[in-house]
Amino acid sequence: MIKATDFGNDFLWGIATAAAQIEGAANTYGKGVSIWDTFAKRTGKIKNGHHPEPACDFYHQYKSDLALVKILGFKIFRFSISWSRILPNGTGTVNQEGIFFYHQLIDECLALGLMPYITLYHWDLPEALSKNGGWTSFSINAHFNEFVLLCAKSYGDKAKNWIVINEPFGFTSLGYMLGIHAPGETGLQNFFAAVQHTAIAQADGGRILRSEIANANIGTTFSCSEIIPYTGNQADALAAKRIDCLINRLFVEPTLGMGFPDAEWEVLEKFNISHSTWRHKERMSFDFDFIGLQNYFPIVVKFNAFVPVIQAWEVKAKSRKKPYTAMGWEINADSFYNIIKQFAAYPNIKNIMITENGAAFPDHLINGKIDDDERIAYFELYLAALLKAKNESTNITGYMAWTLMDNFEWAEGYGARFGLVYTDFKTQQRTVKKSGYWWQAFLNR
Ligand code: NOJ
């Protein structure tokens, strides 16, 4: 059985959250409307008609929730700043009440001896900016920079650990290509425009933090999945390569100064992404102190001529008779190891932190307890894979579990439970799950 100390005494253990998923108070205390508030009003977009109000009411309960983080033994508390809470229109007038809220949150972390890791953008764009095209519009870059500057100036003297963007591929694909997430836009044209502006925002954000904050530790995060061809035939192998370009390489390579991976996949050329951005190649790159990797599952792909452009199709875990979570995501710790190694192979990534990893299961509260043994088994497998990667001397310096408590899981609403702590959404009562106690024992051993 592995122990936390096997990772070394300097290894950082944390827990990750995001504003729109936990805060609630979505329409009060001066907060402006975010794209998730609006998206939730559109029929059929979010399961069971759920919406981000009241989420976990963290806005009011942050003190007791942070106390739980401390009790469970984590050192890092990762949270995000809601852009529309501090800039209700996305730009211009500042909501001082919002600024004050994050001051209190940071101060409480510091008082408890927790290290705040602050994500600047975790998917909740102000609606006012979305009306003008959101991430598809070139104007987003100036607005994002204004937001970053405000955060850096407000909190930079006491908060030193920053994450610029959470999973750029996640929100640009789900929100601007597939329409499954806010703002519900579709099509490759929207997607590639959003990709370009996001890649620029990520590096611009890094530069602003660097120039404003002394001794800042600056990172950004990428979702990633090992891409496995369904069969050994060449069509499937090429399909897997295309999906790898899209899912794993599209954002990290521009960040590392390599530009988009268009030499490998001419589709990116076709969408003009490289031509319209070649002059931004430098602007898209920034020397981050750490790269955050977020992994949950591998993706198995098969060639499919009927899928436009991408010509690939995912073969789900269920149809392959593999174990999977309540999200339908394959449980496969070897793929966690493999994708870490894939990223660690980039020569100019200095330092890797796992900034999210975890699993949803259908937890049931029975006699005041949640015996989520499946989640414990998941963490045991994934942490063993992480230890193996770390021991092979890739520069892995920390791990953050997703997530503290069951919360608003975007289009899944409140149905998908990822927490180490159970949230009763009717009463806002928290109950530490067996996996929470497992973590407590793991970190204190
Ligand atoms: C990635 C996202 O960053 C987070 O917001 C989400 O809840 C988890 N994955 C689980 O889907």
Which residue has a Cα nearest atom 7 of ligand 1?
409
Q: Are the C-beta atoms of 423 and 406 separated by less than 8 Å?
A: yes
For a pLDDT cut of 70, what percent of the chain falls above it?
Answer: 98
Q: DSSP code of 47?
A: G
Mean confidence (pLDDT) of the chain: 96
**Which uninterrupted H or E stretch holds 119?**
strand 115-121
Ordered DSSP codes for 75-118: SEEEEE--HHHHSTTSSSS--HHHHHHHHHHHHHHHHHTPEEEE
Which residue has a Cα nearest atom 10 of ligand 1?
409
Distance between CA 33 and CA 11 in Å, rounded?
38
Q: How many domains does the chain have?
A: 1
Within 6 A (CB) of ligand 1 lie 18, 21, 166-167, 170, 294, 356, 402, 409, 418
**193 phi, psi to nearest 5 deg:** -65, -45
CA 128-133-134 angle, 5° bins = 65
- Among 330, 312, 94, smallest CA distance to 225 is for 330
Residues 265-286: tens digit of each pLDDT: 777 766 656 555 556 889 999 9
C-alpha distance across the termini of the chain, in Å: 11
- What is the predicted pLDDT for the residue at 445? 74
- Among 297, 294, 300, 188, smallest CA distance to 240 is for 300
Residue 288 Cα to ligand 1 midpoint, Å, equals 22
Distance between CA 194 and CA 186 in Å, rounded?
11
- What is the predicted pLDDT for the residue at 275? 52
Mean pLDDT value across residues 323-345: 98
Mean pLDDT value across residues 7-14: 97
Peptide bond into 54 cis (omega under 30): yes
β-strand pairing of 76-80 with 115-121: parallel
**For residue 434, pLDDT beyond 60:** yes
- What is the predicted pLDDT for the residue at 280? 81
Catalytic residues, by residue number, are 167, 356
| Pocket probe mutation, ligand 1, options 165, 167, 173, 406, max atoms within 8 Å of Cβ | 167
86 vs 51, 89, 296, CA distance in Å?
20, 9, 31
364 vs 18, 330, 411, CA distance in Å?
24, 21, 21
**For residue 191, pLDDT beyond 70:** yes
- What is the predicted pLDDT for the residue at 262? 81
The residues near 133 (Cβ < 8 Å, ≥ 6 apart) are: 139, 140
Q: Strand pairing partners for 272?
A: none
CATH of the domain at 383: 3.20.20.80
The band of 33, judged by pLDDT with boundaries at 50, 70 and 90, is very high
Distance between CA 133 and CA 90 in Å, rounded?
13
Query: Which tokens is 381 given?
Result: 């497998």
Residues 365-394: tens digit of each pLDDT: 999 999 999 999 999 999 999 999 999 977
Tell me which residue range forms the domain holding 309.
4-444
Which residue has a Cα nearest atom 11 of ligand 1?
409
Residues 168-177: tens digit of each pLDDT: 999 999 999 9
Query: Which tokens is 313 given?
Result: 């199709």
